[in-house]
């Protein structure tokens, strides 16, 4: 048998203080603790404690000289198990506690002042300092449990007063509940005790215990973050506890298993056997039941609770009822303070940020999650507040970081629709009626879509949805929160708070929307002033001269040929050629267009093109000539209506009005006034259309003046479609359907949808028509395109401090032949081949693009051979001058709405925007 010396055991215990503490709690006797206290007096004891010890317990002697033996580190660790008896379990001394409280409060105020002084003097910091609570929950230490046991044996009156005093000044409900349980265990000699408090409205009351089966010898309370996880709920009127709460009667059961109301589920889970039970209701001053206390297994084990136990508990519980009522009242006042503070902080947030809608909505949802302690929050904004049809234009969502989810969801998503917003019908109902909806159990509500709930992967239990109003009391959206974190339902207090919260949010969102409208108005004014400063209408002399001029025939001008020379006519000749096209198409006679108005309109359109390298008046005329020859020579005139022909011709002449020589991506990157006004989708195309409308609405320029209202509306719709279709982003969205219909022979001339796509394809084909011209002309056009692209690339490098894409970078011009081949193969050739399937008379355009492709292939091959040769001669001087493709050979003719090369993304290359 192994033997140990005392020193070995002592060293082991020194190295394992936790084990020693557990052993001491389970095995130590009261007389042993008394002897320990006799030797180890606390170093600091208040006068009240010393007097109490002198009067009540001869085992607690005082030391007149005030000296205490200083324990070594080993002794302190060895005696850790009972160290709290000298501090936490001392009775409360008002004077000492008040001084400590004042010191802590002063230190907190000084810390706040230091914090505020070290930060910028913003309203948020000032508000935070001003709203810091000066009211704190008093912390009253409880007397030692062993001291209460000894007092019970020596002086019952003092013992009872000590228990009453122990709870009378406690305002923290958690601490109070713990003290009540420990005191009841001591009072009736119970082994364990539980406290259930009444929660919920009168029609749906439940009994909730956050301290269940607390052992009489427990000295450490459960931590606050585990209270909710250990929470036990008992339905009203169910079981022994529910019966006592409902009837207010005392239940004293010697053998619990003989009572039909007793459930042995807890015993089976814990392995603890319940024998005797004493259960009694706790009432407030009005006689209403506010809780139930349950004592289990009177000590010594096996003995039942006596009538004396019932009497003494009946005497003590009224004091508990008063203390619980006070603690609840204090807790509610603190909640109201926190809610009021939160609302003030919301107001500060909203008025601090009124320039960005997404930022303000993010702040709103963050505050809502914190204020109402829910798992998810969403804000849905209406597309048109004046429309009777409810349609949401923007949806924002935010998920609480405290919500445990298996899937990763970003903190903020701006979506047109949401994959988890399954109760969209509820949001629409709130938006249409203006009434809040509070659903405690969505599974029982017919408006809830259970299938969508399963598909979303996010389980919704409860929903609170309220409308968002603006300052004129119009509904502008809906705010919605889902699932309280404590798994309870949203109550009336939550709904009132959320509605008050949303009032301020509505004002903030409305102000932000108004700010955005002001910004758009400013941008519109800026663009208008810019246009007016640059453009002007034509003079009367110019109109009279053009009106009197003789208009040559199409054959004389050469505009009836597919291989028209884009540079054969000067500016004035292009005006007369435009007149000839309108006259020859017969639209002047059919739509009764005044000849003088047509002349003035053409001259003004020309004047409203800027003098940029490529996207100028000549380009607009060449696009219209390409449309003219396709309508006449290729016989599209037989299948297109007169209105469509006029809209296409006007669209070609106006499709690049006021072009600045930069594309849509450049407008977005620089945050130009155009981008602010029209957004980042088809920015320039919208501007071209609006500019065309502005010219038409100018006095003496409306070539559609003799159309009836319906015809005018239809004409403007056709014109808008024609101009917007020159955006290649829209082209890529539509071309797959067109290619499929054209190549399969399923294209229907009677289908309006097919005709609209055809018109879009014709506009794109004409806009890219230079790629089908004879090689010398096509090459010259490519030089102009390249020059304009390089100018944009230079601006990107100088103004935006970024490296431009290959087609915009003059330092990479040797790559242009390769890019041009990818452009022809990926975008141009499939379009013309599909149109050729519909109309065989477009053969010259297909032949022209094939011929030009061969020329670009020759340049590409020549460049690659030169590059290989240079790589084989590393010792020679850099052959860069020999390899670089000159602009006339390597110019790229492309059109893009993105700053991306065709090689990188075929959907991004474009000649225009």
Run of H or E residues at 195: strand 190-199
Distance CA 195, CA 211 (A): 6
Answer whether 320's CB lies under 8 Å from 164's CB. Answer: no
Answer whether 74's CB lies under 8 Å from 14's CB. Answer: yes
Distance CA 522, CA 524 (A): 5
| Angle between helices 123-131 and 307-352 in degrees, nearest 10 | 160
* Residue 76 Cα distances to 21, 79, 340, angstroms: 12, 5, 47
Nearest CA to 740 out of 857, 838, 637, 596 is that of 838
Distance CA 293, CA 282 (A): 7
Ramachandran quadrant class, 311 (left: phi over 0; alpha: psi -120 to 50; beta: rest): alpha
Distance CA 508, CA 511 (A): 5
Concerning whether 535 is annotated as a catalytic residue, the answer is no
Distance CA 654, CA 624 (A): 9
Answer whether 626's CB lies under 8 Å from 769's CB. Answer: yes
Distance CA 385, CA 381 (A): 9
How many other C-beta atoms can be found within 10 angstroms of the C-beta atom of residue 280?
24
Distance CA 279, CA 250 (A): 6
What are 199's strand-pairing partners?
Answer: 206
What are 845's strand-pairing partners?
Answer: none
Q: Which of 40, 615, 686, 701 is catalytic?
A: 615
Distance CA 91, CA 85 (A): 10
How many degrees, rounded to 5, is the angle at CA 829 between CA 745 and CA 883?
A: 165
Run of H or E residues at 257: none
Distance CA 566, CA 621 (A): 9
| Percentage helix, strand, coil for the chain under 3-state DSSP, each rounded to 5 | 60, 10, 30
DSSP notation for 427-479: HHHHHHH---EEES-GGG-TT--HHHHHHHT-----EEEEEEE-TTS-EEEEE
The token pair that represents 587 in the structure block: 């639209």
**What's the chain's Rg over C-alpha atoms?**
43
Answer whether 183's CB lies under 8 Å from 163's CB. Answer: yes
* Residue 502 Cα distances to 99, 416, 510, angstroms: 43, 22, 12
**Which distant-in-sequence residues (6+ apart) come within 8 Å of 18 by Cβ?**
none
The token pair that represents 834 in the structure block: 């599909």
Answer whether 395's CB lies under 8 Å from 421's CB. Answer: yes
- Residue 212, classed as helix, strand or coil, is strand
* Residue 693 Cα distances to 540, 684, 717, 727, angstroms: 21, 14, 11, 18
How many other C-beta atoms can be found within 10 angstroms of the C-beta atom of residue 61?
13
Answer whether 345's CB lies under 8 Å from 127's CB. Answer: yes
| Angle between helices 571-585 and 617-632 in degrees, nearest 10 | 30
Run of H or E residues at 293: strand 289-298
Q: Sign of dihedral through CA atoms 552, 554, 557, 559? A: positive
Cα within 13 Å of Cα(319), Cβ side: 21
The token pair that represents 189 in the structure block: 């000699």
The token pair that represents 887 in the structure block: 């602009």
Please identify every residue annotated as catalytic: 615
């Amino acid at each position: 048998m192994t033997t140990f010396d005392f020193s070995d055991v002592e060293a082991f215990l020194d190295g394992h203080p936790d084990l020693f503490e557990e052993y001491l709690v389970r095995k130590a006797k009261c007389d042993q603790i008394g002897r320990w206290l006799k030797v180890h007096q606390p170093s600091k004891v208040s006068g009240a404690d010393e007097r109490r010890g002198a009067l009540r317990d001869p085992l607690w002697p005082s030391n007149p000289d005030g000296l205490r033996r200083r324990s070594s580190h080993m002794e302190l660790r060895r005696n850790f198990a009972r160290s709290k008896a000298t501090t936490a379990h001392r009775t409360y001394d008002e004077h000492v506690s008040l001084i400590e409280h004042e010191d802590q409060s002063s230190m907190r105020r000084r810390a706040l002042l230091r914090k505020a002084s070290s930060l910028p003097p913003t309203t948020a910091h000032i508000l935070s300092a001003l709203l810091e609570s000066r009211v704190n929950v008093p912390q009253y230490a409880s007397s030692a449990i062993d001291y209460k046991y000894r007092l019970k044996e020596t002086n019952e009156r003092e013992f009872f007063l000590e228990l009453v005093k122990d709870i009378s000044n406690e305002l923290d409900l958690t601490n109070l509940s713990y003290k009540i349980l420990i005191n009841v265990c001591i009072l009736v000699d119970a082994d364990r005790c539980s406290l259930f408090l009444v929660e919920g409205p009168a029609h749906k009351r439940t009994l909730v215990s956050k301290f269940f089966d607390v052992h009489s010898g427990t000295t450490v309370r459960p931590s606050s973050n585990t209270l909710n996880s250990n929470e036990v709920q008992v339905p009203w009127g169910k079981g022994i506890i529910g019966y006592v709460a409902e009837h207010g009667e005392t239940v004293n059961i010697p053998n619990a298993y003989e009572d039909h109301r007793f459930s042995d589920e807890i015993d089976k889970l814990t392995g603890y056997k319940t024998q005797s039970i004493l259960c009694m209701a706790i009432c407030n001053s009005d006689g209403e039941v506010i809780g139930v206390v349950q004592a289990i297994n009177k000590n010594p084990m096996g003995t039942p609770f006596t009538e004396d136990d019932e009497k003494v508990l009946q005497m003590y519980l009224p004091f508990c009822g008063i203390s619980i009522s006070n603690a609840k009242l204090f807790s509610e006042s603190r909640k109201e303070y926190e809610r009021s503070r939160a609302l003030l902080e919301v107001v500060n947030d909203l008025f601090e940020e009124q320039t960005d809608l997404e930022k303000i909505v993010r702040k709103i949802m963050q505050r809502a999650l914190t204020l109402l302690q829910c798992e998810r929050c969403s804000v849905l904004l209406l597309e048109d507040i004046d429309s009777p049809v409810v349609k949401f234009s923007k949806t924002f969502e935010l998920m609480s970081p405290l919500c445990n989810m298996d899937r990763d969801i970003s903190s903020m998503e701006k979506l047109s629709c949401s994959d988890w917003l399954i109760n969209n019908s509820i949001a629409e109902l709130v938006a249409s009626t203006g009434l809040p909806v509070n659903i405690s159990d969505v599974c029982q509500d017919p408006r809830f879509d259970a299938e969508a709930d399963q598909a979303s992967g996010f389980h919704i239990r409860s929903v609170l949805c309220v409308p968002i109003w603006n300052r004129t009391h119009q509904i502008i959206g809906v705010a919605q929160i889902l699932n309280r974190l404590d798994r309870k339902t949203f109550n009336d207090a939550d709904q009132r708070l959320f509605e008050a919260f949303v009032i301020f949010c509505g004002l903030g969102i409305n102000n932000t929307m108004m700010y955005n409208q002001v910004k758009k108005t400013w941008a519109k004014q800026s663009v208008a002033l810019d246009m007016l400063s640059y453009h002007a209408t034509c003079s009367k002399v110019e109109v009279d001269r053009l009106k009197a001029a003789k208009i040559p025939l199409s054959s004389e001008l050469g505009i009836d040929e597919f291989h028209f020379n884009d540079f054969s006519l000067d500016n004035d000749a292009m005006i007369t050629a435009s007149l000839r096209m309108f006259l020859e198409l017969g639209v002047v006679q059919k739509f009764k267009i005044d000849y003088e108005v047509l002349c003035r309109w053409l001259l003004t359109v020309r004047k409203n093109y800027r003098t940029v390298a490529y996207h100028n008046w000549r380009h607009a005329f060449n696009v219209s000539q390409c449309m003219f020859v396709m309508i006449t020579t290729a016989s599209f005139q037989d299948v297109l209506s007169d209105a469509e022909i006029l809209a296409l011709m006007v669209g070609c002449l106006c499709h690049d009005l006021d072009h600045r020589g930069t594309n849509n991506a450049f407008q977005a990157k620089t945050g130009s006034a155009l981008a602010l006004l029209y957004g980042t989708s088809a920015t320039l195309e919208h501007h071209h259309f609006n500019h065309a409308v502005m010219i038409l609405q100018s006095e003496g320029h409306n070539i559609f003046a003799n159309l009836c209202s319906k015809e005018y509306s239809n004409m403007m719709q056709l014109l808008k479609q024609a101009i917007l279709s020159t955006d290649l982003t829209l082209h890529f969205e539509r071309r797959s359907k067109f290619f499929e219909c054209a190549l399969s022979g399923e294209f229907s001339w009677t289908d309006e949808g097919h005709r609209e796509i055809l018109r879009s394809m014709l506009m794109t084909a004409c806009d890219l028509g230079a790629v089908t011209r004879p090689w010398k002309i096509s090459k010259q056009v490519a030089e102009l395109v390249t020059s304009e692209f390089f100018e944009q690339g230079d601006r990107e490098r100088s103004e935006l401090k970024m490296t431009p894409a290959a087609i915009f970078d003059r330092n990479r011009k040797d790559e242009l032949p390769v890019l041009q081949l990818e452009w022809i193969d990926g975008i141009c050739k499939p379009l013309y081949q599909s149109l050729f399937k519909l109309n065989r008379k477009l053969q010259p355009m297909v032949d022209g693009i094939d011929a030009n492709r061969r020329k670009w292939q020759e340049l590409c091959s020549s460049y690659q051979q030169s590059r290989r040769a240079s790589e084989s001669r590393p010792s020679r001087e850099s052959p860069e001058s020999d390899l670089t493709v000159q602009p006339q050979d390597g110019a790229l003719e492309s059109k893009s709405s993105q700053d991306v090369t065709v090689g990188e993304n075929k959907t991004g290359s474009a000649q225009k925007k």
